[in-house]
């Protein structure tokens, strides 16, 4: 399992898209690793795992983790080191394609937990169901920078009709032109044509889009994903509408009413093992044999006289 935890001021939809881009491009980085770089990374991980514990608390935490997991694999660390010594670059790439790369992994599954701040724009359940996440991410970036002159429908229309072969500077210029037109419908044609530039910074009355900004990154992700086939559970026949769950165009399910969703789930009890606890490493059991107890009667006995 790979867990990515991020926090920041960006809207969660944009952050999720950036994680997708990172995972998609990271395979190329793995592919470009030289043999020496790969061996150095493996050796660093081995050294980290073989690092001596600094306190008894660290040792207790490590042992308790094995006990709590109900697996009792106290030698797991040594086995990890043995496997790492035999690991090759081809093994790593095969693992990535089988479990991490969503384009090739058959059993690819992921869970996104998004915490939305009340200080930023948040899409409604209907908007989540209607518009692709890349469009929501772009609109969220525009909104967070104070550019509220466009609606989500405007952004969706622009992304759908944009030329994917155009440079990001040209796309930003077109977006700026659309923004000015929506802000001031009576703007002259000369003013609109003045925005037709391919400079790095595209300036318009009251608006500046930079090619190094989050807006440019979100726009690029939205344009590139227009013709992509959804890779999530779009073909899922299960209907969750009865518990007020919404499904995005990519097939992602949104839990709109957490209380209603939770009421449909089976209750989980305490963390009690569901199977018999049998340690992997067993030791002889010493049975203590109890000795028979001796009772002393201190009751005075009657004396007998001669």
pLDDT of residue 39: 92
pLDDT of residue 155: 92
pLDDT of residue 187: 47
pLDDT of residue 182: 77
Asked whether residue 189 carries a pLDDT value surpassing 50, the answer given is yes
Asked whether residue 87 carries a pLDDT value surpassing 70, the answer given is yes
Tokens matching residue 191:
């003013």
Tokens matching residue 242:
């009865």
pLDDT of residue 88: 92
Q: How confident is the model at residue 286 (pLDDT cuts 50, 70, 90)?
A: low
Helix 76-86 to helix 35-49 angle (10° resolution) is 170
Residue 11 burial (10 A CB sphere; 0-12, 13-18, 19+)? buried
Q: Residue range 168-182: average pLDDT? A: 85
Cβ atoms of 204 and 172 within 8 Å: the answer is: no
Q: How confident is the model at residue 306 (pLDDT cuts 50, 70, 90)?
A: very low
Q: What is the pLDDT of residues 197-216, one digit of tens each?
A: 444 344 444 455 777 788 98
Give the whole-number percent of the chain exceeding pLDDT 70. Answer: 73
pLDDT of residue 154: 92
Q: How confident is the model at residue 121 (pLDDT cuts 50, 70, 90)?
A: confident
Q: How confident is the model at residue 277 (pLDDT cuts 50, 70, 90)?
A: low
Cβ atoms of 170 and 183 within 8 Å: the answer is: no
Highest mean pLDDT among 5-14, 248-257, 289-298: 5-14
Q: What is the pLDDT of residues 211-246, one digit of tens each?
A: 778 898 899 888 888 766 555 544 455 566 667 788
Q: How confident is the model at residue 178 (pLDDT cuts 50, 70, 90)?
A: confident
pLDDT of residue 45: 92
User: Which pTM value belongs to this model?
Assistant: 0.64
Q: What is the pLDDT of residues 151-166, one digit of tens each?
A: 999 999 999 888 888 8
């Amino acid at each position: 399992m790979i867990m990515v935890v991020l926090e920041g001021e960006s809207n969660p939809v944009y952050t999720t898209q950036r994680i997708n881009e990172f995972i998609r491009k990271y395979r190329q980085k793995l592919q470009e690793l030289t043999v020496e770089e790969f061996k150095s990374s493996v050796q660093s991980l081995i050294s980290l795992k073989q690092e001596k514990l600094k306190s008894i608390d660290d040792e207790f935490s490590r042992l308790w983790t094995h006990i709590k997991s109900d697996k009792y694999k106290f030698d797991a660390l040594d086995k990890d080191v043995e496997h790492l010594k035999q690991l090759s670059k081809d093994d790593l790439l095969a693992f990535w394609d089988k479990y991490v790369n969503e384009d090739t992994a058959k059993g690819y599954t992921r869970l996104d937990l998004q915490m939305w701040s009340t200080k930023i724009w948040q899409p409604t359940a209907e908007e989540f169901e209607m518009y692709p996440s890349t469009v929501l991410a772009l609109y969220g970036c525009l909104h967070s920078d104070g550019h509220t002159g466009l609606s989500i429908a405007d952004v969706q229309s622009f992304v759908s009709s944009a030329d994917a072969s155009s440079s990001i500077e040209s796309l930003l210029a077109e977006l700026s032109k659309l923004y000015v037109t929506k802000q001031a419908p009576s703007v002259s044609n000369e003013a609109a044509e003045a925005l037709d530039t391919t400079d790095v910074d595209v300036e318009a009355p009251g608006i500046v889009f930079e090619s190094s900004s989050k807006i440019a990154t979100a726009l690029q992700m939205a344009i590139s994903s227009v013709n992509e086939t959804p890779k999530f559970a779009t073909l899922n026949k299960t209907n969750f509408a009865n518990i007020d769950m919404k499904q995005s165009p990519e097939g992602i399910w949104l839990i709109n009413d957490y209380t209603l969703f939770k009421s449909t789930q089976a209750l989980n009890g305490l963390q009690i093992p569901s199977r018999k606890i049998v340690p992997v490493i067993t030791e002889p059991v010493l049975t203590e044999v109890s000795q028979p107890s001796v009772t002393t009667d201190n009751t005075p006995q009657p004396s007998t006289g001669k």
